[in-house]
Amino acid sequence: MITGAFFLLALFVLPMWNITLEAPQYPDSIGMDIWINKITDHNPNDIKNINLMNHYVGMKPIPEHMREFEIFPWVIGVMSFIGVAIGFIGKKNLYLAWFIVMIILGAAGMYDFYLWEYDYGHNLDPTAAIKIPGQGYQPPLIGRKEILNFTAISRPMSGAYFLFAGILMSLFAYFISKGEELKYEKEEAI
Amino acid sequence: MNTKKIQILSVVFFLALCSCTRAEKENTSELTLPDNTPKGQASVVDNESDKNILQVAIGSSDHSTLVAAVQAAEIEHVLVNAGPLTVFAPVNQAFADLPEGTVSNLLKPENKQQLANILTLHAAPGSYNKEALIKSAERGRKLYMATGDYLEIRVTGEDVYVGGAKVIATVPTSNGIINVVDRVILPPGS
Amino acid sequence: MKTKIKFIASGILLVTIMAVLGCTTQNNGSGALSSNVAERAYVAPGEHDEFYAFVSGGFSGQLSVYGLPSGRLFRVIPVFSVDAEKAYGFNEETKPMLETTFGFIPWDDSHHPDISQTNGEIDGRWVFINANNTPRIARISLETFETEEIIEIPNSAGNHSSSFVTENTEYVVAGTRFSVPVPQQDISIDEYKSNFKGAISFIGIDQESGRMNLDFQILMPGFNYDLAHPGRGKSHGWMFFSTYNTEEANTLLEVNASQNDKDFIAAINWKKAEEYIQQGRFREMETAYAHNVYDESTHMATSTIKRTVKVLDPAELPGLVYFLPTPKSPHGCDVDPTGEYIIGSGKLSAALTAHSFTKMLDAIENERFDGEAYGVPILNYDDVVAGVVEQAGLGPLHTEFDTEGNGYTTFFISSEVVKWKVGTWEVVDRKPTYYSVGHLMIPGGNSRKPFGKYLLAMNKITKDRYLPTGPELTQSAQLYDISGEKMELILDFPTVGEPHYAAGAPADLIAPRSKKFYELDDNNHPYSIKNESEARVERDGNVVHIYMSTIRSHFAPDNIEGIKVGDRVYFHVTNLEQDFDVPHGISMIGANTSELLIMPGQTETFVWEPKKVGVWPFYCTDFCSALHQEMQGYVRVSPRNSDIELSWSLDGE
């Protein structure tokens, strides 16, 4: 349980998500890495070049600041702290509770990500140079999607894997301690 | 000129085209056997420029033996090179004056190299008309030939001798000078 | 009517003749090439070539970059001549590159590129090339493919036996073709003999930055110095120069310089020269030469005049120079990959001469000399010669080597390339060139490690090889496959200017280090701006500085007012892009200079002196993006005495 809770902290040093754009004129592709508190170039200058491309269709530049960047680190930090604490307390039901809260938070995070992507892909500048009626530019939540001549690929990165692993470990911790309890109960019964 | 003549000419034209097609066909079947005796620059078609050494020699009925020898030795392209070259061109009689059988022997394919050497001995890098030869003689200079040999220049009265051959006429050409001589110059010591 | 028939008839005749002629040439052409040959020179769309070839531009003054085996031209690097396309010599940043002690010179004649080496192997850091007319050496970066440095060579004239690098790029050497009075003075040309000197320059190279410094010069006898080659392996530390006109003629050289049976190859022991410099046995000579350096961080060049050079006199310094007699005005002077043989190509001769380095050292040690010339010992021809390639062809010029111990020599007069065996000196193969070949190049073929595979012959004459283009025809190169026993001609391709010489290297040595763009953060140009918010216009008297930026697809600012007739307006334009292959261009109507072509992250400047009142447009000259055609702006020019305030804007802001 404690290890799982610590795994959350990996998000502070590893990127969580990545969106990559592939197109013939970018033989090396361009992309951005999403962290819990920032968005960075996958290769130097990628965001600048994504913004340059996108401004023609009226998409807003990739934000340097988002409200989420202030909230996420606290949420992760607090949840990690609570996880460690309940690890020491060692109550199995608390493990389960932590797991459920994490799942809810994770789902909320993905939903928030979707909302941002929707806004990013649909809320276009009316004075944009290129307008294609009905064309949305929303990147996929996860997986591949063709957007005009670009292929957008959205996928979790190492930080997210640590997050999943951490959450799963809390569930394991719950089952293991439940198993031990059963064993204990059995022994007592004998 | 009447229509009949035009018809004849048209037939000639047609035949020429046919022969051309046939030649091409033959050639296609021989693709793997490339022509190993390219003439190089000598085969450039150009009837407008001033004539070069080879063209002048070909046009001179007095030098048919020399031209035949040059062709047998396959050194035509040397005589059309940018030069400047000075060629001492023996007249037909000069070849005829050689011992019986010499020329026909040299023209045999197996003696190609020997023939090429003899002919190259008749070429000097640089431009030497009669005045230049006299000047060289006055300064005690020998004439350096393309074979690496040196030939003596001798002036007797108004006559100039190179390697024992008397210059009987001088013809300027586009890539050098032809000095017509009355004898074939043989390699020193032969 | 009759004339009409005649006309038609002669027309048919003419066509017939042409058909027959066309037929003949066609036969010649297709006979030489099989489809398999075509495949070997074919590089499919999107594929890359195996080698880079850096081919001298001759009288274009530039250096062109080709791919082999395709013969595709990638770039013409401006070096010694202005290039309006790239603003080289036109923008304020690069004008100093072409400064000399004679002032700004817009042209030169570039001859012999040579790639830097480490341990005698091509390393792909820099390529050097010489200016023949006003003696200079340039260094070109193989990361940016830009000319980074040009150094003028004093006491030299006709900088022909240049620019050859030593085994570890310790030096680039430059030898004079013309001997001249040193220092220059007003004397009769008839005083040539013994008064004229031939300066050989050793330019030291800083291994980190590549910066050139004229370390010392050796003042040689007044011969003509033609080509040079460094020793390698056992002969490392020596440099060999071919000489002609050892007759010291000063007129009608075509005759007067062809009298001596043998001229010399000069063997210079530069390690010995370094010792003499250490010992202070040099003379510090007053002179003047320009040293021009382009700084990648400021994107600007500076030109400085240097005033002294250290000179060494071989007559006073034993062991510095020896002369090796070599037949008939040698042109090429080439050292085989082992460093043992020095091949002299007497250009008026029919044979090649190979000198042995070992025999040369032996003769020197035993002091077997055959006299001297101006205090320089002459060795005996028979003591140093290792072999002769007999009856190889007419007019040998230049030799390079493959990996299998073969030499390949070009013959100008007999117009062919001849392959021969090093050591046995037998001719193995010969192939014609079309026409009159000068130099040849095998990638790495002048180093310790040739790459073999291809041979590039550079021809002086093309005549009928291509579609005609009036009296001035293209010059050309021809590619031979030399991987087999017999050479095979696989490609003809036209060249820029006259290709004198070339240097080749495997693509993987250079391509991975090729720069994609300049970092904007590292741009230290004094007039650069890092983002649009810094864009502005400043006036200082009648001088106006516009700090302008470009990014897809606009200029900032793009509306400028308050400029007056008689102003001197500097457009300092920074390309804010940080993306591979997005240059922007700019030009202003009526500007008396070239466009600018600005790479991402770079700043360039052009000057505009408005002469007419009005509103004048400028635009992007490089198709940069979908909205390139929208990338434009206006400058309002008011009369000289106008009091309109200076103002600028982008989208009303």
pLDDT tens digits for B49-107?
888 999 999 999 999 999 999 999 888 888 888 878 899 999 999 999 999 999 999 99
Render pLDDT for C330-365 as a digit per residue (tens, 0 to 9): 999 999 999 999 999 988 888 899 999 999 999 999
pLDDT band at C16 (very low <50, low <70, confident <90, very high): very low
Tell me which chain C residue has its CA closest to the CA of residue A129. C627
DSSP assignment string, C4-26 = HHHHHHHHHHHHHHHHHHHHHHH
Per-residue model confidence (pLDDT) at position C34: 55
pLDDT of A181 strictly over 80: no
- pLDDT greater than 50 at residue A89: yes
Q: Which residue of C has its CA nearest to B31?
A: C34
Q: What is the pLDDT of residue C495?
A: 96
CB contacts, 8 Å: A52 with chain C: 551-552, 577, 579
Q: Work out how many domains chain A is built from and give that number.
A: 1
- Which residue out of C530, C531, C578, C584 would a mutagenesis test of the A interface target, given it has the greatest number of A Cβ atoms within 10 Å? C578
| Residue A87: predicted pLDDT | 87
Instruction: Give A65's pLDDT tier (boundaries 50, 70, 90).
Output: confident
Sheet holding A26-34, edge to edge: A39-41, A26-34, A17-23, A150-156, A143-147
Q: What pLDDT band is residue A180 in, cutting at 50, 70 and 90? A: confident
B touches A, CB cut-off 8 Å, minimum 3 pairs: no
Asked whether residue C326 carries a pLDDT value surpassing 60, the answer given is yes
Q: Which residue is it, tokens 């000579």?
A: C285
What residues of chain A lie within 8 A of the CB of C626, using their CB?
A: 56, 129-130
- Of the candidate ranges A35-39, C9-13, C37-41, C165-169, the one whose mean pLDDT is the lowest: C9-13
Sheet with C502-506, strands from edge to edge, namely C73-77, C63-68, C51-56, C502-506
- Mean pLDDT to the nearest integer, C585-611: 97
Asked if B59 is an interface residue toward chain C (Cβ–Cβ < 8 A), one would say no
A48 contacts in chain C (CB < 8 Å): 578-579
How sure is the predictor about B42, in pLDDT bands with cuts at 50, 70 and 90? Answer: confident
Alpha-carbon span C287 to C629, nearest angstrom:
53
Q: What is the mean predicted confidence (pLDDT) over B36-41? A: 59
Interface of B with C in 89-118 (CB under 8 A): 113, 117
Pick the closest to residue C637 from C646, C649, C624 (CA basis): C646
Say whether pLDDT at C275 is over 50.
yes
- Predicted interface score ipTM higher than 0.90: no
Q: Domain extents for chain C?
A: 51-513, 528-649
Domain C51-513 fold is Methylamine Dehydrogenase; Chain H (2.130.10)
CA distance B143 to chain C (A): 8
Closest residue in B to C254 (Cα–Cα): B126
Lowest mean pLDDT among B50-59, C363-372, C512-521: B50-59
For range C463-481, the mean pLDDT: 94
Q: Is the pLDDT of residue B38 over 80?
A: no
- Least confident among B12-26, C35-49, C561-575: B12-26
Nearest to C579 among A45, A56, A130 (CB): A45
Q: Does B30 touch chain C (CB under 8 A)?
A: yes
Inter-chain CB proximity C578 and A130 less than 8 Å: no
| Interface probe with C: pick from B21, B33, B35, B142, most Cβ of C within 10 Å | B35
Counting as contact any 3 or more CB pairs under 8 A, the partners of B are C
Beta-carbon neighbour count of residue B184 at 10 Å?
26
Query: In the predicted model, is pLDDT for residue B126 greater than 90?
Result: no
Task: Compute the mean pLDDT over every residue in chain B, rounded to the nearest whole number.
Answer: 81
Nearest Cα of chain C lies from the Cα of A48 at a distance, in angstroms, of 8
Beta strands in C507-620 (DSSP E): 536-540, 543-551, 554-556, 559-564, 568-575, 584-588, 596-598, 603-608, 614-619
Range C496-501 average pLDDT:
94
Q: Do A44 and C578 touch (CB under 8 A)?
A: yes
Task: Please tell me the predicted confidence (pLDDT) of residue C36.
Answer: 80
Q: What one-letter code names the amino acid at C188? A: S
Are C460 and C446 in contact, with CB atoms under 8 Å apart? no
C-proximal residues of A, 91-130, CB under 8 Å: 129-130
pLDDT category, C20, cuts 50, 70, 90? very low
Q: Which residues contact C76 (CB under 8 A, 6 or more apart)?
A: C57, C60, C62, C63, C64, C65, C83, C496
What is the band of C29 on the pLDDT scale with cuts at 50, 70, 90? very low
Question: Interior CA angle at C231 toward C230 and C235, to 5°?
Answer: 160
What residues of B are in contact with residue C31 (Cβ under 8 Å)?
27, 30, 34-35
Chain B interface mutation, best of C463, C465, C480, highest count of B Cβ atoms under 10 Å: C463
Q: Greater confidence, C335 or B144?
A: C335
The architecture (CATH level 2) of C528-649 comes to: Sandwich (2.60)
Residue C116 C-alpha, separation from nearest chain A C-alpha, in angstroms: 30
pLDDT of residue C380: 96
pLDDT for res C260: 81
Helix (DSSP H) and strand (DSSP E) numbers for chain A:
5, 5
B7 interfaces chain C, CB cutoff of 8 Å = no
- Going by C-alpha positions, the residue among C619, C576, C549, C552 that lies closest to residue A54 is C552
- Flag the least confident range among B31-45, B118-132, C206-220, C568-582: B31-45
Question: How far apart are alpha carbons C233 and C376 in whole angstroms?
Answer: 25
B148: left (phi over 0), alpha (psi -120 to 50) or beta: left
pLDDT > 70? residue C13:
no
- Candidate from A49, A56, A129 with C-beta closest to C579: A49
- Chain A residues whose beta carbon lies within 8 Å of the beta carbon of residue C552: 52
The whole-chain average pLDDT of chain A stands at: 88
Taking residues B38-59, what's their average pLDDT? Answer: 82
Confidence of residue A5 (pLDDT cuts 50, 70, 90): confident
Q: Rounded to whole angstroms, how far apart are CA atoms C355 and C341?
A: 6
> Cβ contact (<8 Å) for A49 and C551?
no
Pairing label, strands B176-181, B85-90: parallel
Please state, for a pLDDT cut of 90, what percent of chain A lies above it.
41
Contacts C630 to A, Cβ<8 Å: 129
Q: Would the CB atoms of A52 and C552 count as touching at under 8 Å?
A: yes
Amino acid identity of residue A125, one-letter, is D
Q: In chain C, what percentage of residues exceed pLDDT 70?
A: 95
According to the model, what pLDDT value does residue C255 have?
Answer: 79
**Average pLDDT value for residue range B21-34:** 40
Q: Does A48 touch chain C (CB under 8 A)?
A: yes
Closest-CA distance of chain C to residue B147, Å = 6
End-to-end CA distance of chain B: 60
Query: Under an 8 Å CB criterion, which residues of C touch A?
Result: 551-552, 577-580, 625-627, 630
pLDDT tens-place string over residues A18-40: 999 998 888 888 999 999 999 99
Structure confidence at residue B4 (pLDDT): 56
Q: Do chains C and A touch (3 or more CB pairs under 8 A)?
A: yes
Domain around A89: 2-189
pLDDT exceeds 90 at position A111: yes
Range name among A120-134, C506-520, C603-617 with the lowest pLDDT average: A120-134
Contact C16 B13 (CB under 8 A): yes
Residue B147 is predicted with a pLDDT of: 84
Average pLDDT over residues A166-188: 81
Q: CB–CB of C552 and A44 under 8 A?
A: no
pLDDT on residue C74: 97
Contact C627 A45 (CB under 8 A): no
**Structural Rg of chain C based on CA atoms:** 28
Q: What is the pLDDT of residue B5?
A: 54
Tell me which chain B residue has its CA closest to the CA of residue C253: B126
- Does the pLDDT value for residue C15 go beyond 60? no
Q: Which of C25, C436, C487 to mutate to test the interface with B (most CBs of B within 10 A)?
A: C436
- Which residues numbered 460-489 in C keep a CB inside 8 Å of some CB on B? 460-461, 463-464
Does the pLDDT value for residue B35 go beyond 80?
Answer: no
The predicted pLDDT at position C18 comes to 44
Q: Which of 2.30.180.10, 3.30.1380.10, 3.30.2020.30, 2.60.40.1120 would CATH assign to domain B49-128+167-181?
A: 2.30.180.10
Residue of chain A whose alpha carbon sits nearest to that of C551? A52
Contacting residues for C461 by C-beta, under 8 A, at least 6 apart: B41, B82, C435, C436, C475
C-alpha distance from B5 to closest chain C C-alpha (Å): 8
Contacts of A44 in chain C (CB under 8 A): 578
- pLDDT value at position A190? 56
pLDDT digits (tens, 9 = 90+) for C223-266: 999 999 999 999 999 999 999 999 898 888 887 887 788 899 99
Does C9 have pLDDT greater than 70?
Answer: no
Strand duo C559-564 + C536-540: pairing: unpaired
In sign, the C-alpha dihedral spanning B88, B94, B98, B100 is positive
Residue C60: pLDDT band with limits 50, 70, 90: very high
Show which of residues 151-190 on chain B sit within 8 Å of chain C, judged by CB atoms.
Answer: none
Q: Does B43 touch chain C (CB under 8 A)?
A: yes
Confidence tier at B22 by pLDDT (50, 70, 90): very low
Q: Which residue of B has its CA nearest to C414?
A: B78
State mean pLDDT over C416-425.
96
Task: Encode pLDDT of C123-140 as tens digits.
Answer: 999 999 999 999 999 999
The pLDDT value given to residue C350: 80
Given an 8 Å threshold on Cβ–Cβ distance, is C578 in contact with A48? yes
Check residues C207 and C19 and name the one with the higher pLDDT: C207
Q: Is C517 helix (H, G, I), strand (E, B) or coil?
A: coil
By percentage, how much of chain C surpasses pLDDT 90?
Answer: 86
Q: Which of C5, C351, C412 shows the shortest C-beta gap to B148?
A: C351
Per-residue b or e along B155-169, where b marks 16 or more CB atoms closer than 10 Å to that residue's CB: eeeeebbbbebebee
Contacts of B45 in chain C (CB under 8 A): 21, 25, 464
Residue B144, chain C, CB below 8 Å: the answer is: yes
Q: How confident is the model at residue C17 (pLDDT cuts 50, 70, 90)?
A: very low
C392 within 8 A of C418, measured Cβ to Cβ = yes
Predicted local distance difference test score (pLDDT) of residue C1: 44
